[in-house]
Amino acid sequence: MPSPSSPFLALPPELRNAIYEQYVLAEGGYVYNFELGKLCAANDPEHPVDLALVYTCTQVANEMKGIALSCNVVTFRTFSSPDSDLRASRFHEIMQESDRAAADLFGSVSYSQCYKHVLDELVRVFPECQPLLQLVKAMGQTSPPLCDATQGALITSHWKGVPSVTREIVFYAIEVALKLDCPLPEEHGILAHDLLEIQSTYMPWAIPTENETAFTIKKFDQKRWGYRQTEIGKMYPFSAAAVAIKFLQHTPISTRKYLRKIVLLEDRASIAFPECHAKGLIPFCVENPFLHIERRLDLWRTMLCPFDYLYPNWLPLGNMSIDDLARWIVEAMDLFRAGMPEKSFSLVLDGEPDLEKSSQFFEFAQRYTMWQEAIEEACARKLLWTRPLCLIRKHLLYIREHFPTILRAMTNNESFPIRCNFNIDFSWNIEQIIDQNLYCSELEWVDNYHDEWSKHDYETRYKQVMKPFQPFRRWRDFYTTEYIYPTERWRYTDESIALRLHVSRFNYPEN
């Protein structure tokens, strides 16, 4: 054991610190092994980090405190395992079903007697929800009042704001209605107060235990949750952000304050609205202003892959994939409104393994989005003869609120917390679109948009872009390699894919 007269301790502090840094530095930094619950070196991810030098003496331990975390990037990946998939699929369906039921109840609130009082409270707490309230009013004028699921789902889907903010507004509207003793029906077999309990118990980025999900299903008598969509052998990953939050919650503040950089590798489509999971990281970034979180989104494996549509010749629709991209981008920008420090977070859109195709896909997104900005500007200039602007949102050429502003800033290479590792150069010009559609009605805008798409043969080009990349020659190869456990891939033949994988767990529990 070193003594005070040890030659090492006799070295100058600066030199000892340099030795400590070289000792703890791991090639590629640290990666978190979820099953072990430990940090491992990137070049040895199966074994926890060994810092035996820390235990030689008290002085060395004090001098090395926090150096390992401050010198190494800590990387988190999505996580799934055969043992966790059942609870993951259950949790995913709990979140999906409660979200749908809340949207339906919002329709009931919109036509209840306490509606005006609810609106006043919503405007006070969520000033940004004015377009949603305008949409509620406009849809009430153009369609018959409905007190069932239909109208609420239409309102929330047509608003096209930031998805997590929409959910916050909807749940808060239900909470206010209950405080006002407003009678609300049961939706999807769930009562309003049960919905609020689920929402307060689980955040989308939670990683609940098997007992917690089973208790929730039993408590609310939803026996089919988590079984209806669970395919045999299919992975149900928790997001990298959710894994990081779990780690940080179980790490003392005296330790995590030394963290300097975290990388989140979102390399698979995850459960429970993964685009909003970074909001769970805000408290940790606020307490540690030196921490920077980089979230890397694998475009091909998270949104351009055939996660649900599994026919052999399946090709994703352009507006579907672009809306997925828009949800991730607007959620990332909403982090700063929600309290994320300005320099603590960045989102990187990763186009590997085919950067050229990623650039081409992004060009389609830019063209779609340019039309949205053009029609919004035409409405602002009163050049578009139409109903209220809020009703334009229901059209396919309207993608997401604020999405054109964000995408244009990215295209113009402005300093931005969202960037790509592929080329996104594009000539952004909405004036030409406005001039070509001067004084057209909204339906004529939509028709002209589709004519423009057909004239340039974008659909054929899009299908060429979306062909599977090497080494996957078919989407089935990609899907089974990325989302099916090796021991279960024998189930996924061409025939089963053609039948859209009807091999599912329909063995609902009896209790």
pLDDT digits (tens, 9 = 90+) for 336-361: 999 999 999 999 999 988 898 889 88
Higher confidence at residue 278 or residue 365? 278
Confidence (pLDDT) at 509: 36
Residue type, 72: N
Per-residue pLDDT band at 320 (split at 50, 70, 90): low
Adjacency order of strands within the sheet including 74-77? 44-48, 38-41, 30-33, 74-77, 261-266, 292-298, 345-350, 418-420
Per-residue pLDDT band at 155 (split at 50, 70, 90): low
Confidence (pLDDT) at 308: 40
Per-residue pLDDT band at 307 (split at 50, 70, 90): very low
Mean pLDDT for the stretch of residues 31-42:
94
Mean pLDDT for the stretch of residues 414-436:
91
Per-residue pLDDT band at 458 (split at 50, 70, 90): low
Report the range out of 175-179, 217-221, 337-341 with the highest average pLDDT. Answer: 337-341
Mean pLDDT for the stretch of residues 468-480:
62
CA atoms of 488 and 485, how far apart (whole Å)? 5
Local structure of 196: helix, strand or coil: helix
Confidence (pLDDT) at 100: 84
Lowest-pLDDT choice from 118-122, 188-192, 293-297: 188-192
pTM above 0.85, yes or no: yes
Q: Is the pLDDT of residue 508 over 50?
A: no
Higher confidence at residue 289 or residue 310? 289
Confidence (pLDDT) at 469: 61
CA atoms of 132 and 209, how far apart (whole Å)? 36
In Å, the largest CA–CA distance within the chain is 88
Residue type, 260: R
